[in-house]
Structure 1
Amino acid sequence: MDCLNLFLLFTFTFACSSIISTRADLPGTWELVLADAGISSMHTAVTRFNTVVLLDRTNIGPSRKMLGRGRCRLDRNDRALKRDCYAHSAILDLQTNQIRPLMILTDTWCSSGQILADGTVLQTGGDLDGYKKIRKFSPCEATGLCDWVELDDVELVNGRWYGTDQILPDGSVIILGGKGANTVEYYPPRNGAVSFPFLADVEDKQMDNLYPYVHLLPNGHLFIFANDKAVMYDYETNKIAREYPPLDGGPRNYPSAGSSAMLALEGDFSTAVIVVCGGAQFGAFIQRSTDTPAHGSCGRIIATSADPTWEMEDMPFGRIMGDMVMLPTGDVLIINGAQAGTQGFEMASNPCLFPVLYRPTQPAGLRFMTLNPGTIPRMYHSTANLLPDGRVLIAGSNPHYFYKFNAEFPTELRIEAFSPEYLSSDRANLRPVIEEIPETVRYGEAFDVFVTVPLPVVGILEVNLGNAPFSTHSFQQGQRLVKLTVTPSVPDANGRYRVGCTAPPNGAVAPPGYYMAFVVNQGVPSVARWVHLIA
């Protein structure tokens, strides 16, 4: 039975409430965070001030949020509005759920981004006047007036439309790929653009090398996946260090709409496991087929193994455009998307409303758990981001060229949050509270975390660092979770538990920047505290 029919079979009428519990027998709950954000977020990022940057295109005509204060964007080449007084970016305050409009000048359609070591959101490329643009958003307190800054003194060497960004061990960012751009370049700039023939070698008629999946491995090289192939790339020498076997099941990158995540790094941090899940059938994009069933296969590979091979599994549902979000526990939430079609405007059908939990420590065949379904289809241009309180923020969905509300799958302005089972009321007594943690830690530094827990602690308290990735087009650019080496917790005279921790050893394990530090007790995470990891 497909996702939508299964949802219709079990959905029941619910009272008007901000909490929606659609299937009481399935884990997780849904919450309406904001009924009208004014814009549909194609790109989303969480900041260290517990705010969320929402970003859409500029050339879509009116949004539903005015810029205010007399501000307007003037662009005589804009196809929709020459004088545009509507917001196409905004900041969401997670404490009040209030929206403040932001000013973005150039087109960010299908662009890329990353969070820099100082917490600044770096935003690169786009379409038309945004093709070579570099933008920055330096976040501030929710009451501040920080806004986008478009750089005039530097631009991309190659235009980047559907590219991918990844922060590197030294805090710089590699910017890779994009339509017609089989190169890499860096921010801050260095050595111009460098040819990267791998992307040209895997290109096909439906451009399945776009938005390549890029993961920084703990050995300092990059795992890069495009179409159905992957390589280990030594960016310092611009050489392929290793070619991986092809992944069965056809292409997985845009527009074939799979997703990917690197599992949590732990232990001695020498092992990196990559998972690639879902995707459209080959040819669905070329044929503009909206009802071709998606496939649900997942490949899992130990990228650092001497003899890496793909281990194949099947998800409970075929899925395209699913987001893979690393949870504080090390499990992966697969959410959003559809069961048929492909990426692109008006190109998908049969929304998959059921999230799925991928539990990497379980044996093969037992790793997937179906979760409580939502009620809002999240199709093309949806996003998903982990929040410091352990929820996952769900935004966007606009499968149309312009904002369109009279449609089977309308432009979506509502923002939701999904709460995994670890936030259920019956686990509240297990939830730790971080009472004290350093605001800044250095690589390899030993430090203590002090926590309280309602019930006595049984077992080891984990301390896990999760960064804030840039979420767009079913991939969390730069996403990372690092499980720190810890000592057993020790109670002190104040009723707190002291956990001794050791910071990650270097920037290849965890690039410099701000991380959400979670303490996890028996699978239940605390509310995170932001920690600045520096050299």
Structure 2
Amino acid sequence: MDSSVSQQWLLLLLISTAVIVFARADLPGTWELLVENAGVSSMHTAVTRFNTVVLLERTNIGPSRKMLRKGHCRSDPNDAVLKQDCYAHSVLFDPQTNQIRPLMINTDTWCSSGQFLPDGSLLQTGGDLDGFKKIRKFDPCELNGSCDWVELADVELSEGRWYSTNQILPDGSVIIVGGRAANTVEYYPPRTGAVSLNFLADVEDTQMDNLYPYVHLLPNGHLFIFANNKAVSYDHVVDKIVREYPQLDGGPRNYPSAGSSAMLALDGDYSTAVIVVCGGAQYGAFIERSTDTPAHGSCGRIVATSPDPVWEMEDMPFGRIMGDMVMLSTGDVLIINGAQAGTQGFEQASNPCLYPLLYRPDQPVGLRFMTLNPGTVPRMYHSTANLLPDGRVLIAGSNPHYSYKFNAEFPTELRLEAFSPEYLGPDRGNLRPVIEGVPETVRYGERFDVLVSVSLPVVGIVEVNLGNAPFATHSFSQGQRLVKLAVAPSVPDGDGRYRITCTAPPNGMVAPPGYYMAFAVNQGVPSVARWIHLGS
């Protein structure tokens, strides 16, 4: 190749690179590194009503990168790595100050489950080894408080739970669904022990794709339970399957095939619930331990409350496994983290999917997905994503190895990042409302006022939306929910303030009792949330 041709090719390469960089920089959303070293690689993450975040990993992998307080070591003669473990495997994080405090947890929480109770405490169930039947609680506090994990001594699971799913129910109790070799459900507080759910046994195959089933509480009080490629409606009052849904095409979706699922925002008369299931691995990739089998990008969407439900299919711009679906305060869904090949499991995936997607439910098929600004940190197996009260999304974890490994192709990840959707862009500041007043406690069906201020005059309706704090793990946010309240047009209240009269959800089937982040949303731009307690 002569020099003139070489120069032309080099110029073309430089132009192409510039275009790619410009296109990426021009995509919506921004990234922010919050903490270089969180001390632990979080596989379970939950946001508390004190605006702190609980990060939790497994306990039996040796030293973390955060020491416990002096004199607070864990003694376990059966631990294969450390008999005397003085390292934290859970921490409390404050995303406003980026400060971290170590927490003490005794039993193994590997691939466990969780859910917030009506009083705001975090229930945490199961795990591996000595954590198999354990029930734990964390009663949250501010970062400088003294709250810590408590292992419940007077109660345990009736059946060991590993890779199970928790969902809070209308009466404030919690159902615990499935788990490895546990084709049953049980409840906290306990009822009569484990109850068989043969549906989970029926869908189990050699890949175990019934693990971490997707569980959503429908507004009629029944549970939508999805495992592998099938779904049922389950009446938890009488412990009976009352409906079978059509099979979802595209292969298995649950662990280890690693799709994700979300129930879209409830609004209107709250009679309609729409479930979305996206992504997953090709069947056989896990059995063959294939790290380079391309993931698929198909999504199924179904009206679970319809008398004649069918799956509506569409494709994401990328094939993806281990993507986290985060319900934003606006009702859009952020899909973030994961990989484009392989399956869930230790060192079983490749080709990180760095591009987040915005799923816009109100758009027609073919226009629902928007590609967002890519990150730079691969977030593989054991990554999490959680909506923060300020509208950012906290990104944590990624430890696709049995223990910490920092010299691997995809190293153990201790960094915490925040992704800011486009609604937090600098051009949206004048539209962003500020909640000046909201009740701390609201009863079902109650009318109440929210006082907001906005820099520019309000045009149209200011929404008030309630989002709970789910327990995020293994590509599924357990209990995740967004409820759009019925609101009257905002009324000027002087000095740029507006009074919005809202009506609380009618019952616990629409919104189970507990703490919710209340967001005011003005023309697609949310406020910083204020926590309210909803109940009878």
Alpha-carbon distance in structure 1 between the residues aligned to 2:168 and 2:103: 25
1:9 positional shift: 5.7
Structure 2 partner of 1:247: 248
CA deviation string 1:79-107 (max 9, x = no partner): 11111111000000122111100000000
Three-state SS of the structure 2 residue aligned to 1:210 is coil
Q: What is the aligned-residue RMSD (CA, Å)?
A: 1.2
Answering whether residue 189 of structure 2 is matched by residue 200 of structure 1, we say no
Q: Return the offset for 1:115.
A: 0.6
Q: 1:10 to 1:388 in 2, by over 3 A?
A: farther
Deviation at 1:22, TM superposition (A): 9.1
Instruction: Give the distance between the partners of 1:92 and 1:419, measured in 2 at CA.
Output: 18
Deviation at 1:398, TM superposition (A): 0.2
Give the corresponding residue for 1:359: 360
Alignment of 1:135-146 (within 5 A): 135-146=136-147
> In the alignment, residue 257 of structure 1 is paired with which amino acid?
A
Deviation at 1:191, TM superposition (A): 1.2
Pairwise CA distance, 1:68: 2.3
The residue identity in structure 1 corresponding to 2:92 is: I
Aligned to 2:484: 483
Q: Take 1:95 and 1:29, find their aligned partners in 2: how far apart are those partners?
A: 17
Give every structure 1 segment of 4 or more consecutive aligned residues whose post-TM-superposition deviation is greater than 3 Å.
Answer: 8-13
8 A contact 2:231–2:245 mirrored in 1: yes
Residues in 2 aligned to 1:89 and 1:345: alpha-carbon distance in whole angstroms:
21
Correspondence 1:182 to 2:194:
no
What's 1:65 paired with?
A: 66
1:422 match: secondary structure: helix
Rounded Cα–Cα distance in structure 2 between residues aligned with 1:512 and 1:139: 17
Mapping for residues 86-485 of structure 1, pairs under 5 Å: 86-485=87-486
* Aligned counterparts of 1:480 and 1:417: Cα–Cα separation in 2: 21
- The residue aligned with 2:531 is 530
Cα deviation, 1:95-141, whole Å, max 9, x if unaligned, reads 21111000000000000000111110100000000000000000012
Supply the distance in 2 between the matched residues of 1:329 and 1:11 (Cα, whole angstroms).
31
Alpha-carbon distance between aligned partners in 1 of 2:483 and 2:45, rounded to the nearest angstrom: 22
Give the alignment's TM-score, normalised by structure 1: 0.96
User: Could you tell me whether the CA contact under 8 Å between 1:228 and 1:251 is conserved in 2?
Assistant: yes
Task: Give the SS at the match of 2:146.
Answer: coil
Q: Distance in 1 between matches of 2:475 and 2:142?
A: 28
TM-superposed CA distance for 1:11, in Å, is: 9.7
Q: Is the 8 A contact 1:22 1:373 kept in 2?
A: no
1:490-509 correspondence to structure 2 within 5 Å: 490-509=491-510
The 1-side partners of 2:215 and 2:281 are apart by 20
Q: Any conservation in 2 of the 1:10–1:23 contact (CA below 8 Å)?
A: no
SS of the equivalent of 1:492 reads strand
Work out the CA distance in 2 between the residues paired with 1:448 and 1:271: 26
Please state how far the C-alpha of 1:255 moved relative to its aligned partner: 0.2
- Residue in 1 that maps onto 2:11: none
Q: Give the match's secondary structure for 2:528.
A: coil
Structure 1 contact 321–474 (Cα < 8 Å) conserved: yes
Q: Which secondary structure state, in structure 2, belongs to the residue aligned with residue 339 of structure 1?
A: strand
User: Which residue matches 1:517?
Assistant: 518
* Amino acid corresponding to residue 38 of structure 1 in structure 2: G
Deviations 1:445-498 (A, max 9, x none): 000000000000000000000000000000000000000000000101343100
Partner of 1:4: none
CA contact 1:467–1:514 (8 Å) conserved in 2: yes
Q: Which residue of 2 aligns with 1:18?
A: none
- For 1:154 and 1:38, the matched residues in 2 are separated by 31
Distance (Å, rounded) in 2 between the aligned partners of 1:79 and 1:199:
32
Q: Percent identity?
A: 82
Measure how far apart 1:241 and its partner are. 1.1
Distance in 2 (CA, whole Å) between partners of 1:477 and 1:11 is 40
Q: Look up the SS of the partner of 1:23 in the other structure.
A: helix
Please tell me whether residue 77 in structure 1 is matched to residue 78 in structure 2.
yes
Alignment correspondent of 2:9: none
Q: Give deviations 1:32-62, integer Å, cap 9, x for gaps.
A: 0111001000000000000000000000111
Cα distance, 1:12–1:416 mapped onto 2, change above 3 Å: farther
Rg larger in 1 or in 2?
2
- Determine the C-alpha separation between the residues in 1 that align with 2:347 and 2:216: 30
- Return the alpha-carbon distance in structure 2 between the equivalents of residues 521 and 168 of structure 1: 31
1:24 Cα deviation after fit: 2.2
Partner secondary structure for residue 325 of structure 2? strand
Q: 5+ residue gaps in structure 1?
A: 1-7, 14-20
